[in-house]
Structure 1
Amino acid sequence: MKLAEALIERANLQRRLDALKVRMNASARVLQGDTPAEDAMLLLEEYERVASDLLAVVRRINGTNAVTELEPGVNLVDAIVARDLLRKRQQAYSDLADAAVGKSDRYYQTAESRFSRAVDVAALRKQADELGREARELDTRLQAANWTIELR
């Protein structure tokens, strides 16, 4: 099985857990005299089986990521962390630029309460765009690698 297939399976199992939880909770309580549409305890048993399957898949994914290099000296775990940090940094730059621009509310602005920008919005947006580009490029490399790597 390829790593990408395992990642798809992980997502499917996570969605299944979420759906089972909703169904369990909906069946946990009914009006007196009614019967639930489903047996909550049977759903709970299925939930536990799916959770066990998810744990097994995640362990294999993590093991593969830890020992497989995306490029010399950079394993998949490090690359994933780098991508996630690039995205977080991009968001911080974008948020700072957005905060500097602010929301113009002419009804509440008076001559005494005018704001000026304390940061260079254009430079922040440019840096956010660059970080976003780097994150997308790294993510593309990770996605491509996922289809060539055998799950361990």
Structure 2
Amino acid sequence: MKLAEALQERADINHNIEQLKNRLNNNVLVQDGETTVEDPNKLKTELDNSIKRLQYLIARINQTNCETSIDGESITELIAQKDALSLKINIYKETAFLASQLSYRARNSEIKIKSAISVTDWQAEIDKMSKELRLLDNKLQENNWKTELIE
């Protein structure tokens, strides 16, 4: 199995677990004399099996990410780099957005509010980092489809 396939299966299982949780919650109480729409014990068994498979996939994915190297860095290091870059971009975008807000004055005697940063410079840096993030993500995606999951 390729790493990308394992990642897709992990996402599907997480979605399935959320659905099973909701279905269980909808079937644990019933009016006296009535029956539930679904058997909670069967749902519990299905949930337990899904969680067991998720645990297996997480362990294999993490091991593969730690032991697989791309251009001298592990996939884990590249993912950390991607996450940090995404965080930085989001904070910079929020800052640039706030700094670009105009403050209107009804009279010249009111306090004038102006940006303390160069929004243009910040936006140029955001654009540069966004390109770097896209290239990094492309590299990771490409390698996910080439890398065999360590089992």
Superposed displacement of residue 151, structure 1: 0.7
State the SS of the aligned residue for 1:147.
helix
**How far, CA to CA, are the matches of 1:103 and 1:9 in structure 2?**
47
In structure 2, the partner of 1:36 is 36
- Hey, what's the Cα distance between the residues in 2 that align with 1:117 and 1:38? 59
Match of 1:85 in 2: 84
Match status 1:94 vs 2:125: no
Distance change in 2, residues 1:11/1:103 (3 Å): farther
Q: CA deviation at 1:29?
A: 2.4
Cα distance, 1:103–1:9 mapped onto 2, change above 3 Å:
farther
| Map of 2:51 onto structure 1 | 51
Q: Quick one: distance in 1 between partners of 2:19 and 2:135?
A: 33
Distance 1:114 1:69, change over 3 A: same
Cα deviation, 1:49-77, whole Å, max 9, x if unaligned, reads 100100001100000000000112x0000
Query: Where does the alignment leave 5 or more consecutive residues of structure 2 unmatched?
Result: none
1:17 matched to 2:27: no
What is the letter of the counterpart of residue 70 of structure 2?
L
Residue 28 of structure 1: how far off its partner (Å): 2.1
Corresponding residue of 1:142: 140
User: In the TM superposition, what is the alpha-carbon distance from 1:113 to its structure 2 partner?
Assistant: 4.6
- Counterpart residue identity of residue 143, structure 1: Q
Q: Could you tell me how far apart the structure 2 residues matched to 1:35 and 1:70 are?
A: 55
Residue 2 of structure 1 corresponds to 2
Residues 103 and 35 of structure 1: CA distance in aligned 2, closer, same or farther (over 3 Å): farther
* CA deviation map 1:23-46 (0-9, x unaligned): 111112234443221122321221
2:120 corresponds, among 122, 127, 133, to 122
Aligned CA distance change for structure 1 residues 39 and 102 (closer, same or farther; 3 Å): farther
The whole-number CA distance in structure 1 between the counterparts of 2:33 and 2:117 is 65
Change (3 A) 1:37 1:103: farther
Structure-2 residue corresponding to 1:75: 74
Aligned-partner SS, 1:151: coil
**Aligned counterpart, 1:26:** 26
Report the alpha carbon displacement of residue 100 of structure 1 after superposing the two structures with TM: 1.0
- Mean Cα displacement is larger for which, 61-70 or 36-45? 36-45
